[in-house]
Every structure is written in C-alpha cells, then in structure tokens.
Amino acid sequence: MRAPRYSLHLSLRYRRVGEATWHTGETQNISRSGVFFRTDDPIELHTPIELSVALTTDPVPRAAAQVHCRGRVVRTVVPAERDGSSCSAVTIDDYAFLPSPLGSISVEL
C-alpha cells in the first residue's frame, strides 16, 4: 500500500551526492517514504541525492525545523510544454532533524 501524500509547498535545497553546489526547488507533496518536488534542473533516474527542507513555523521562521534527507531519484517528469521546470520523486533512505534554536531530534530509518 502506498504511503499517504500531503500536499505541502515548501522551499527546499538539494544536491547530487558528492556535488558541492546546492540547487533550489519546491515540494509538491511529501509522504513518510518520499518527496515529490519541482525544479529547473532535471535529475537523472537512480541519482543519489541530498535534500534539505525547512518546516517553517510562521510567524517565527527562525524557529523552523530543518530536515536533512538522503535518498535516490525514482521518477523524473519533464512536461511536454517546456516551461523550464521538471519534477522529481525521491525515495527517502534516511533523514535527520538538524539543530534549531528549540533543540533537535535525530531519526534514522
């Protein structure tokens, strides 16, 4: 059975494992097992990837939890109408909540 997806539009940063440069994107939906996000940079299937997502808590963004994930691309969608963006689905292998002003939690799958 497929994990429930939650339609959340959050800013994220990502990079291919071993790459120094971070790229930006926006989540389209998130589940306990993965993230589907939009970006201007199509990512090849099976590419190992790192993601960093800020779970904002308005009106105090500095207290947002930062989630750092590692996984791999399981699907990339390039729309027929080239508006410069594509979407990638990443399965999450492990993740950790990074330290914030309010404390931290670390979890491994």
* pTM of the complete model: 0.79
Is 68 part of any domain?
yes
Is 89 part of any domain?
yes
Is 109 part of any domain?
no
pLDDT score recorded for residue 60: 55
CATH of the domain at 60: 2.40.10
Is 73 part of any domain?
yes
Please tell me the distance from the alpha carbon of residue 96 to that of residue 107, in angstroms, as a whole number.
5
Is 41 part of any domain?
yes
pLDDT score recorded for residue 80: 67
Q: Which of 76, 74, 66 is nearest to 102 (CA)?
A: 66
Is 48 part of any domain?
yes
Is 108 part of any domain?
no
Instruction: Give residue 25's domain range.
Output: 11-98
Which residues face 49 on adjacent strands? Answer: 16, 71
Is 24 part of any domain?
yes
Number of domains in the chain: 1
Q: Exposure pattern of 9-47 as b/e (b: 16+ CB <10 Å)? A: ebebebebeeeeeeeebebbebeeebbbbbbeeebeeeb
Query: pLDDT tens track of the chain, all 109 residues?
Result: 778 999 999 999 999 999 999 999 999 999 989 999 999 888 999 999 999 998 776 655 556 678 999 999 999 998 766 667 899 999 999 999 887 544 444 444 3
pLDDT score recorded for residue 63: 61
